[in-house]
Amino acid sequence: MSDFRIVTDSGSDLNRCMIDQLNISVVPLTVNFQGKSHPDSVDEGIHEFYDGLRAGEVATTSAINPTGWATEIEPILAAGQDVLVIGFSSGLSTTYQSAVIAAAELKEKYPARTIRVVDSLCASLGQGLLVWYACKKRDEGMSLNDLADWLENNKLHLCHWFTVDDLMFLKRGGRVSAATALVGTMLQIKPVLHVDDEGHLINISKVRGRKASIEAIAKKLGELGLPGENSTVFICHGDCIEDAQHLASIVKERYGVKEVFIGHVGTVIGSHSGPGTLALFFLGEHR
Three-state DSSP at 14 gives: coil
Residue of 233, 204, 237, 224 whose CA lies nearest to 287? 224
Mean pLDDT over residues 74-98, rounded? 98
Q: For the chain, how big is the Rg over CA atoms in Å? A: 19
Return the closest-CA partner of residue 8 out of 108, 95, 81, 107.
Answer: 95
Q: Among 66, 68, 53, 72, which Cα is nearest to 7's?
A: 72
- Sorted by where each starts, the structural domains of the chain and their CATH numbers stand as 4-155 (3.40.50.10170), 157-283 (3.30.1180.10)
| Per-residue confidence (pLDDT) for residue 81, from 0 to 100 | 97
Residue 44: pLDDT band with limits 50, 70, 90: confident
Over residues 123-130, the mean pLDDT reads 98
Q: What is the overall mean pLDDT for the chain?
A: 93
Residue range 223-238: mean pLDDT, rounded: 93
* CB-based burial label for 102 (10 Å; 0-12, 13-18, 19+): buried
Q: Residue range 103-111: average pLDDT? A: 98
Q: What is the average pLDDT across 58-84? A: 97
pLDDT greater than 80 at residue 31: yes
What pLDDT, on the 0 to 100 scale, is given for residue 176?
Answer: 56
Confidence band of 204 (pLDDT split at 50, 70, 90): confident
Q: How many CB atoms lie within 10 A of CB 38?
A: 17
Q: How far does CA 123 lie from the centroid of its chain?
A: 3
Is the pLDDT at 240 greater than 90? The verdict is: yes
Could you give the strand order of the β-sheet that contains 82-87, starting from the edge strand earlier in sequence? 25-27, 4-9, 82-87, 115-119
Distance CA 35, CA 38 (A): 10
pLDDT above 90 covers a percentage of the chain that reads 84
Mean pLDDT of 186-203: 85
Question: Is a pLDDT exceeding 90 seen at residue 262?
Answer: yes
- What pLDDT band is residue 45 in, cutting at 50, 70 and 90? very high
- Using the predicted structure, report yes or no on whether residue 173 has a pLDDT greater than 70: no
